[in-house]
Amino acid sequence: MERVDALLNSFENPKTIFQRNFSLGKRRAVVLFHPDLSDTYTLRSILRACAGKGSKDASLYDLLTDILVVSEAEIVKESEAVNHILEGDAVIFLNGIPDCITVNTKNWEKRSITEPPTETVVRGPREGFTEDFKTNITLIEKRLRTRKLAIEKFHIGRESHTAVGVCYIGGIVRPGLVREVVERIKSINIDSISDSHYLVPVLEERPYSLFPQVGTAEKPDAIASKLLEGRVAVVVDGSPIVLTVPFMLIEDFHSGEDYYERNSFATFLRVLRLIAVAFAVFLPGLYVADLTYHYEMVPLKLLITVINSLKGIPLTPMWEILFIMLLFEIIREASIRMPKSLGTAMSIVGALVLGDTAVKAGIISSPGVMIIALSSIALYTVPAIVGTTSLLRILFTLVGGLGGVYGLLLASIALVHYLASLNSLGTPSLAPFAPFISGDLKDGVVRAPLFSLKTRPEAIGSPNKRRIG
């Protein structure tokens, strides 16, 4: 068949695709498939089913309705055949009949469903998304067995042809939101998408911002609850991270586990995370500002202790803190990249050699090490924004060292003003605090009992407001 040959020749290496000829009645047929992406066992059973069957003038429709009854098959245009082959489907051509049939024979190795490392829980579901698109979609569908759940699927990437699914619940999602999300995603003209994060810049109103405007989740229970709040989820093939929009900054301070704990404890944890992040960002700057300019603000006993420790340190407080911070960032980066077998040795080198010895040698002071240690540990109470908070604390340390409390105050106001002007697809990033939405506060810093969370977040703008009752 000439058209099969033409199709095969369109590949850089035609041998990449396997071709098998068979007869369907009197008509000659060809099946094309990708040997690495397709399941040969399924193919064999298809071919066995087709062999010797069919009438003299068998058509694609006959093949579909009489022979491939139980298979996942459909008639598609010839132009789409290549994409289907590259997705692992088998494509059957009948001589003298335009169009072709694709049969789902996809089969490749997948990672099993495991608990995601960034969202571990003590209580609650442990299943997490994998890199497989279908698995991820299935995990969502399994949790939301409703007719209203809709998934718009399309492909992005000229070369990668990556499957993208935009999930939402009809009647709950804000009108116009899905269209905007789809339009923004489709506006990408890129050769390949390796991960869902490639879509983040187009979904953000300020892509250069230090702050995230798109939420991420690795667990289907979290995504299901976000969809039920009126958000839109974006699943990308090859990525275990699912994106959600609109996004509010307070979401980063929430954990999936908050909803499986007693509400009082969950509230305590949320407050703790907020305090920890405030500590992480402001403490080094405040320490530097106080020790450089404002001795009077520090209680006398504490000041005496700190001054005694600072004696003979060759660096000013600002440079000392920045130096310790730099050390920490280097150790952190190295420990992520290096082989696990070296981890223990690295910890010893980092903690003992660099930390203890540097203090003993009088290069850095113990209060400085303590401040950075506290700040660094506090950073990881909200792992989703570690990058942002790490940069912010460096910035605030610089500002505190150069401008004292005056600089810190100005920088804080500038930060709040900037955050106040941030929006995520029409939802204010600082909601429910600015603008203040009293109803949404039940699931803001406080986590009210689940029975009292009667309405969906007002900031998202769902037309279906009631959740309970």
Partner 1 sequence: MISTEKRISTAQLFALVFILGMSLKMMMLPVLLLKSCGRDSVIAMFVILVAELVCLAGATAAIALSPQKSFGQLLKATVGKIAAKIIFALMAAMFFLKLLLLSGEVRIFFAENLFTEFPWCVYSVPFFALTTVISIGTARAIGRTAQFLFPLILAATVLMLFLIGRGVDFTEVLPFGEFAARDVAADSLRYAMWYGDYSALVVFLGSVKRSRKTVAISMISGVTASAVVLFFTLGLTASFSNVCYIIHFGQNVTGMSHYALGNIMQGRIDLILFCVWMMSVFLKGGMFAYAAAYCIRAIAPMNRTLPALILGVTLFVISCFIPSATGLHTVMADYVAIPAIAFQFAVPALMLTVSLLGRRRERKGEECERMGEDCEQINERECAEDDDA
Partner 2 sequence: MMTRRRRILVYKLFCILFGLVLLCLPYRGMPYSDLRVVATVLGIDGGVGEVSVAAQLAVPVAQNGDGKASTVATAKGGSISEALENLEIGLGRRVDYGHLSTVAIGEGMTLEDVTEHVSYLMSSGKAGPGAYLVYCNASKAVDFIEQAQQMGESSDAELGSLISYSKSGNHVATTTALRFLQTLNSSSHAAIMPCVELEGSESDAQPAAAGGTGGGGGQGSSSGGQSGQSSGGGTERKKLVAADTVAVYGGESKLPVMLDAYTTKGVVWQDKNSDFGLVELRNVLVDGEEVKSLSTRITKKKVKRSVKRENGENVMEYKIKMKLRLDDSRICGSPLFYDKWKNAIEDEFESVIQNNLLAAVSFSKENKVDFLGIRETFRKFCREGFDSFELDNVVVTVKADVSIQT
Cβ–Cβ under 8 Å, residues 378 and 260: no
Using rule CB under 8 A, residue 434 touches partner 1: yes
Question: Residue type at 180?
Answer: E
Pick one of partner 1, partner 2, none as the site partner of residue 428 (Cβ within 5 to 8 A by kind): partner 1
Pick one of partner 2, partner 1, none as the site partner of residue 318 (Cβ within 5 to 8 A by kind): partner 2
Phi, psi of 384 (to 5 degrees): -65, -25
Using rule CB under 8 A, residue 345 touches partner 2: no
Binding partner 1 (rule: CB under 8 A), the pick from 93, 293, 328, 396 is 293
First to last CA, the chain: 63
- DSSP state, residue 214: S
Edge-to-edge strands of the sheet including 232-236?
A: 149-156, 162-169, 232-236, 242-245, 215-217
Using rule CB under 8 A, residue 391 touches partner 1: no
What is the pattern of x (binds partner 2, CB under 8 A) and - over residues 269-308?
----------------------xxxxxxx--xx-xx-xxx
Measured between alpha carbons, how far is 5 from 311 in angstroms, rounded to an integer? 82
Binding partner 1 (rule: CB under 8 A), the pick from 426, 439, 450, 458 is 426
Using rule CB under 8 A, residue 311 touches partner 2: yes
Cβ–Cβ under 8 Å, residues 86 and 37: yes
Using rule CB under 8 A, residue 41 touches partner 1: no
DSSP string, 181-199: HHHHHHT---S---SGGGG
Using rule CB under 8 A, residue 428 touches partner 1: yes
Residue with Cβ nearer partner 2 (268 or 418): 418
Both structure tokens of 219: 């667990």
Using rule CB under 8 A, residue 305 touches partner 1: no
Binding partner 2 (rule: CB under 8 A), the pick from 116, 215, 317, 457 is 317
Using rule CB under 8 A, residue 312 touches partner 2: yes
Measured between alpha carbons, how far is 417 from 400 in angstroms, rounded to an integer? 19
Measured between alpha carbons, how far is 307 from 371 in angstroms, rounded to an integer? 15
Instruction: Choose the stretch contacting partner 2; rule: CB under 8 A; options: 180-188, 337-345, 402-410, 419-427.
Output: 402-410
Instruction: Choose the stretch contacting partner 2; rule: CB under 8 A; options: 12-20, 102-110, 397-405, 446-454.
Output: 397-405
Cβ–Cβ under 8 Å, residues 419 and 211: yes
Using rule CB under 8 A, residue 208 touches partner 1: no
Closest approach of partner 2 to the CB of residue 174, in Å? 25
SS3 of 266, please?
helix
Using rule CB under 8 A, residue 316 touches partner 1: no
Using rule CB under 8 A, residue 278 touches partner 1: no
Cβ–Cβ under 8 Å, residues 94 and 24: yes
Pick one of partner 2, partner 1, none as the site partner of residue 436 (Cβ within 5 to 8 A by kind): partner 1
Measured between alpha carbons, how far is 231 from 139 in angstroms, rounded to an integer? 17
Binding site for partner 1 (CB under 8 A): 293-294, 296-303, 403-407, 409-414, 416-421, 426, 428, 430, 433-436
